[in-house]
Amino acid sequence: MKTSLFALPLGLALGLAATSAFAVDGTINFSGKITSATCPIEIVNPESGAVGNLVTLGAVDAGDFRGVGTEGGGRGFQMRLTPDTTCVMDDQKLNATVTFTSVQGGGGDHYGIKPVAGAAQGVAVAIKDNTNTLVKNGTASAVYPLSENDPTLMYFTALYIATAATVAPGPADADVNFRVDIN
C-alpha cells in the first residue's frame, strides 16, 4: 500500500515533465508612448484679442425671439491651442474636436441658463462651430486642423436660442465646460 501511494506522485511528476518538454518559448514586444495630453488652451475675444474665460453676449430683447429655435444676439470667440514643451504635436495627431457640456443642465441640446432669481426663461445658450453648425450639448464639434508648431485658433460663435414659444426676460448667464480631444 505504501508503494502504490509513492508511485502516484512519481507518475504525476513524470507526466508534468513530459508536458513541459513540448513547451515553446517566445517574446512579445510592446510599443507605445506616454504623453502629457495637457495643452494650454486660451479663450480669446477675436475683436480685442483679450484672453479670458468670459464671453459677453450682451442684451437681447425678449420680443426678438419669435418661437422655438429662434436665435438672438451672438458673439464670436476663439479657443487658442498653443504647442509648447507640455503639448507637443506630432504628424499623427494634428486634428482636434471640442465637446461642450452644460454645467447647469436644462438646455437639452443647448446650454442651460443659471437658475438664479429672476433668470430668463425659455432660452438657452447655443454654440456654433466654424462650419456654422450648432454644437449640441455633449457632442463633438467639427474637426479643426492643428498646426504642429504654431498656435491654432478654433473659431466658435455663442448666441441665445429660444427653447420655448415665449422668452421671459432676466439674467441669461450660463457656464459651459469644454474638452478638447486631439487625434
Topology of the domain covering 41-182: Immunoglobulin-like (2.60.40)
CA distance 8 to 104: 72
For the chain, percent of residues with pLDDT exceeding 70: 76
Q: Which residue has the cell 433668470?
A: 119
**pLDDT 10s digits, 42-87:** 888 877 888 888 888 889 999 999 999 999 998 999 999 988 777 7
> What residues contact 65, with CB distance under 8 A and at least 6 apart?
72, 122, 123, 160, 162, 166, 167
If you count them, how many residues does the chain have?
A: 183
- Output the pLDDT for position 42: 87
Angle subtended at Cα 151 by Cα 145 and Cα 86, rounded to the nearest 5 degrees: 100
Q: Which residue has the cell 437681447?
A: 60
Q: Name the pLDDT band for 28 (thresholds 50, 70, 90).
A: low
CA distance 101 to 109: 10
**pLDDT 10s digits, 107-158:** 789 999 999 999 999 999 999 999 999 999 999 999 999 988 899 999 999 9
Q: Name the pTM for this structure.
A: 0.76
Say if residue 12's pLDDT is above 50: no
